[in-house]
A and B are shown apart, each in its own frame.
Chain A
Amino acid sequence: MSFHTRLKRRAQRWRSDDAIMFLCGGAVALCLLALAALFALLVDQSRLQFWPEPVYQWETQDGTRITGQIIEESPSSLVISVGHQASDPNSVRRVTRSELVARSRPIDIVRVEHDVLGILYGVWIESAEPAILSVTPEFKVPMQGDAIVRWYFPNQLTIIQSLQIFADNIANFLFFASPDSPSDAGVFPALVGTVVMVLLMTVFVMPLGVLAAIYLHEYAAQGRLTSWIRVAVHNLAAIPSVVYGVFGLGVFVYGLGSEIDSAMYSDSLPSPTFGEPGLLWASLTLALLTLPVVIVATEEGLARVPRSIIEASYALGATRAETLFRLILPLIGPAMMTGLILAIARAAGEVAPLMLVGVVEFAPDLPITTDYPFLRLDQKFMHLGYHIYDLGFQSIDMEATRPRVFATALLLFVIVMVLNTLAVLLRNRLDRKYRHLLE
């Protein structure tokens, strides 16, 4: 082989080496990009829910005017939130750009949040009590002071005022109390419902999962049966979650629940207490759903405990239980925490099974109380994931609630992200603590 061919071949080898590296790096970049895009989308789409956007006025070809805020822009059309109108029950209008002639940003436009009518855009034509808002020249609304929830000039806001409105909107998004309308009410009950249900679930899943993992890893003979059981556990994680929902409905609600009712709450029958979907059954169903996650994570933790130190413990005369409690359990603490947090992250995002076993679209009463026993186990509750589904697909005015859907999704996304970050940090701590043992 000549010197020249050798050089050429060498260059080729390194070129393909680089290509592989870029391929792998590209995959990582794509993952990060997708995540960033998702986050950006959620933030961008929920902006209208929180930030006081400017209000525009458009002139159309047929001479009418449209006043409102832009929900969505595309090269050919606009989606505009126009607020309450006399003629049209729909507060969102979709127009093609060719219909529009001119756009202006009038300084005196007012945005009023009205008790009954919702959002109105217009100008004050009479500012003394009772004030009159002119939405269109034909549609003038007299305003009683106590009917106005809030009003401001969206095109005159200073940055400080904008920030105030922004903070206000966040508070409203979370805590606004509306007794009958799920699409206006704050998401706080859903947030509490999600958290309480998930915490209750961890109370069920942790002891069960950890004990099962310990049995499988420390006590069971490592034969064919055990490996079959292990495969079965891994398979449980792959069962669609709605199947768990059906199982929970059949076994927990109709089976166990009616048994409890006929045994303990027979005076209130035929109206069911535990015989209908509720917090307890939802938590139990999700506990079942996340059980494989906990078992697998705990078993992984157990597998990382070096055999040599377990032998050392036995050699010092420890029994199996003593070795377990004094040596192994403290060591796998972080692994158990990892399993717990993964389970929480999974449960917090689950929707389908919950629709069957306890979540409803609107339950403003929190599932926790200040009186004993502090939990309303039989009560139906709200959940962020289901709230998203409900707002997005079941509400009357879908376009208008869209920013709210994205804001709720953003909240859920942030909660799950925080939990997963915690899981990673714990795993890293475990690595640091035991690295010298694992080498």
Chain B
Amino acid sequence: MTSPIIEIADLSLSYGADEPVLRNVQLTLERESVTAIIGASGSGKSSLLRCINRLVELKPQVRITGDITLDGQSIFAPEIDVTELRQRIGMVFQKPNPFPMSIFENVAYGLRLVGEKSTRVIEQRVEQSLRLAALWDEVKDRLDSQAGILSGGQQQRLVIARAIAVEPEVLLLDEPASSLDPISTLRIEELIYELKSRYTIVVVTHNMQQAARVSDWAAFMHQGSIVEYDNTTALFTNPREVRTEDYITGKFS
């Protein structure tokens, strides 16, 4: 834990009068590393991810207590502009969700939002992002085609390119490969590995092997709390908690 970028302190989340979704979550994310969050469905993994870019606030009657800091500054502070925050913290969703526009416009969307007018700059950044997302060679001749014609795996890489085009510091991946076939999954995993040198990545996954393959750190969540957080090797080979061991060995669902 040399240089933390995000610190989550005592974070709780609930919708209206319902049971809290997150309970007193403590988590520190290290810069330029991959942190995997594992856990059963409904354990609050996605909600935790959506707190980090404040996307959770789109839902009505959200109550958040505790704090999240990005580079030492609270993301809930009044002087924080939520749109700027979301440009610093990119997100990729479970199902590929390209916009119904051309491939080029998909990647350029974020750039146009920040007011980039120069066509040259936009073209450069689109190419650079698509290369980084390992998609350039497959789409460079059909940038004006609708994004919908791409395969699921290609769409997901397009969505990653779209997220990194605005040069975020953190990339949140919400089960990025769960709707993809094994080959596409492998490519996404390779991509995560590649991107690690530039971004801090948080990946939520159901897939234990995937978490073990791609991450440096891993957190196990259960019923809205972090049960165990350790470096990946330690968590998978020598879990401290019984519940973690049960989950990763499949005794418990």
Dominant SS among interface residues on chain A:
helix
Q: Of B58, B86, B100, B148, which is within 8 A of A316 by CB?
A: B86
Dominant SS among interface residues on chain B:
helix
Provide the bound-state CA to CA distance between A434 and B146, in Å. Answer: 11
Q: Of B83, B97, B98, B100, which is within 8 A of A433 by CB?
A: B100
Q: Of A309, A316, A434, which is within 8 A of B90 by CB?
A: A316
Do residues B93 and A312 form an inter-chain contact, with CB atoms below 8 A? yes
A314, A315, A319, A433 — most chain B CB neighbours (10 Å)? A315
- In B57-101, which residues have CB < 8 Å from any A CB? 58, 60, 83-87, 90-91, 93, 95, 97-100
Residues of A within 8 A of B100 (CB): 309, 331, 433-434, 437
- Please tell me which stretch of B27-35, B159-167, B231-239 contacts chain A, meaning at least 4 of its Cβ atoms lie within 8 angstroms of it: B159-167
Chain A residue, CB-CB nearest to B95: A308
A240 within 8 A of B: no
Provide the bound-state CA to CA distance between A312 and B53, in Å. Answer: 12
Contact with A along B133-167 (1 / 0, CB 8 A): 00000000000000010000000000100110010
Do residues A317 and B148 form an inter-chain contact, with CB atoms below 8 A? no
Q: B3 CB to closest chain A CB, in angstroms?
A: 25
Residues of B within 8 A of A318 (CB): 83, 113
Residues of B within 8 A of A322 (CB): 113
Do residues A317 and B99 form an inter-chain contact, with CB atoms below 8 A? no
B112 within 8 A of A: yes
Q: A42 CB to closest chain B CB, in angstroms?
A: 42
B55 within 8 A of A: yes
Residues of B within 8 A of A306 (CB): 97
Provide the bound-state CA to CA distance between A437 and B150, in Å. Answer: 12
Categorize the interface residue count of chain B. Answer: 20 to 34
Chain A residue, CB-CB nearest to B105: A326
Do residues B99 and A313 form an inter-chain contact, with CB atoms below 8 A? yes
- In A93-116, which residues have CB < 8 Å from any B CB? none
Residues of B within 8 A of A311 (CB): 55, 58, 93, 97
Do residues A314 and B58 form an inter-chain contact, with CB atoms below 8 A? yes
Do residues A316 and B87 form an inter-chain contact, with CB atoms below 8 A? yes
Do residues B109 and A313 form an inter-chain contact, with CB atoms below 8 A? yes
Residues of A within 8 A of B55 (CB): 311, 314-315
Residues of A within 8 A of B98 (CB): 309
B114 within 8 A of A: yes
A318, A433, A434 — most chain B CB neighbours (10 Å)? A318
A222 within 8 A of B: yes
Provide the bound-state CA to CA distance between A326 and B100, in Å. Answer: 11
- In B101-123, which residues have CB < 8 Å from any A CB? 109-110, 112-114
Residues of A within 8 A of B87 (CB): 316-317
A436 within 8 A of B: yes
Which A residues are closer than 8 A to B by beta carbons? Answer: 221-222, 306, 308-309, 311-319, 322, 326-327, 331, 433-434, 436-437
- A-B complex: 5 closest residue pairs judged by Cβ atoms: A317-B87, A308-B97, A317-B86, A315-B91, A317-B83
A-B contact pairs, 20 of them (CB 8 A): A308-B93, A309-B97, A309-B98, A312-B93, A312-B97, A313-B99, A314-B86, A315-B53, A315-B86, A315-B93, A316-B86, A316-B90, A316-B163, A317-B85, A317-B166, A322-B113, A326-B112, A326-B113, A327-B99, A437-B100
